[in-house]
Structure 1
Amino acid sequence: MPPRRNPTRRQRRFGVELRKIRESAGLNAQQLSRALGIDPTQVSQMESGKVGVSPERVRSLAAACKCLNDPLVDALADMAQERSKGWWEEYRGSIPDGFLENAELEKHSIELLIWVTTHIPGPCQILRYTLEVFGRLIPALPRHEIDARTAFRAQRRNDLRRDRKPITAFIYESALLTRFGGDRVLKEQLEALLEDSELPWMTIRVVPFATETFPGAVENLTYAVGPVPALDTVELESSRGSILFDAVSELEAYRAIFNRTERAALGEKESRDLIHKTAREL
């Protein structure tokens, strides 16, 4: 099978983890290729995500590198078995690739932690609210692009709900007041958010203005929990698109940010009371 021309972000991450295992053993690509009985170029293609790897090859590689992290090896072997394309592939070419990578990241996570300061979290957005969020970009997007992004976000939302993906969303109080689409749209959005807060797999907590100090990052964040900590990923939302982090030091820093945010946030009942009060006053 010819090498992949454009491996997905998940396929590249899989290759990066194989490279980390090799490097932690102090082996170069030539040495590993000899241990596995393969061509050195194949090692390079594996580590760049350009070729598929069987679960058996993953375990052989781990054994050659004397990797004793069994949970990580098992998780990588599971990743190696993934062959089917995700629903997001039907949007390729009509919206930026970063959107597709976010959906892929969410699908394969076991839990999502979200921190937002500017708008209601994507998994909780109603259609009209989403249209207004994408409609305020400068320069303005063509209508067909707004519609494509809105439809894609709606499908991401539905996919997470179908999977009952555990989600904890920390929302800075300012996001409850920002009027994307005006008072009526915001009121509908807050009422929908209240309904979401009652779902058994969804936790909504508000960080109020009155908190002692600003607890989180300035940017909107998503912490995607992987099957093992080494496969966690952080998505940072910026005006130029998403930035993804998976280095050990970065993951530790963002875990600390979310721990601090959790301590500053209102409880679930108090958060519902504040959301209800804000909606009532619109």
Structure 2
Amino acid sequence: MLKLGIFGDQSSNVELMRHLKAMPEANIAGVYFSGNATVPNDFKELFSPAELMEQSDAILILSEKSISSDLIRLILRKSKHIYLRTIPNLSVREIKELIDLEKEAGIVNFIYNPFDFIPHFDPFLNKYEKPLLLNLRTCFEGLTIKPASEMLLLVTAINRMIQSNYKKTDVFGLSDSGEQVVVSVRIEYENSSVVNLTISKEKTSGYCEIFSKTGRTKFEFNTPLYISYPHLNQEYTAIENFIRIIRQKEKQANSFDNLLNGNRIVNEISEHLRFNEIPF
């Protein structure tokens, strides 16, 4: 049975941890909480990341805070599978280093992304024939997540669906005196797919249409896309998928490659907006 180690802190969801404890596919080997946070009494407490890795086959990082590349690097060097609750704040150079370590260790990593739970964005559920043309208009959620972080999650989910490296981006940004921001981005990929994104700070209804050789898919939504497809057990389901990928040895199914492309795209967007003095 797969042994899971939980790395957390005061932001970790204890109810989720208890659901994981009852999971039939794995067992919780131990829990390490950083800082002054207290591990719940019904879990085996471990007292260092090293002890956690020694007793576990896979590490679940269940902190809502972004963790350092040093900790991720340490986990990968110990050849432990890793699940990240929060997308890490890493530079392009750091992501490249982690990709090399990941491939060298032959392990699975998984980054939780709410956009992955949009059914139309699931490349395993929808066998879209490439190239694709995707047109998407939505608005930033703006309350619980920063626009740049939300954009990174969205682009990373789209990269997962397109399954190709991006080739170029064109960015247009507009800001009025009331600080209403509209960002329009065109992304071209090496497999000839094209994505057109328009995202605003103003709360408006949105839509998405996906064109492929097999037809057209369209869906509309009235709230920011980030929260338009709630799933009561999203995080639990994500961890179940993580375990399934480990068991089926689908090591190419999840990696930092999509994050690398997403990071590069968002950096280009940020640089363009910063040059034009548009807050992002």
Please tell me the TM-score bracket, short chain as reference.
under 0.3
Instruction: Compute the TM-score of the two structures, normalised by the length of structure 1.
Output: 0.28
Instruction: Compute the TM-score of the two structures, normalised by the length of structure 2.
Output: 0.28
Choose 1 or 2 for highest CA Rg.
1
Which structure has the highest strand share of the two? Answer: 2
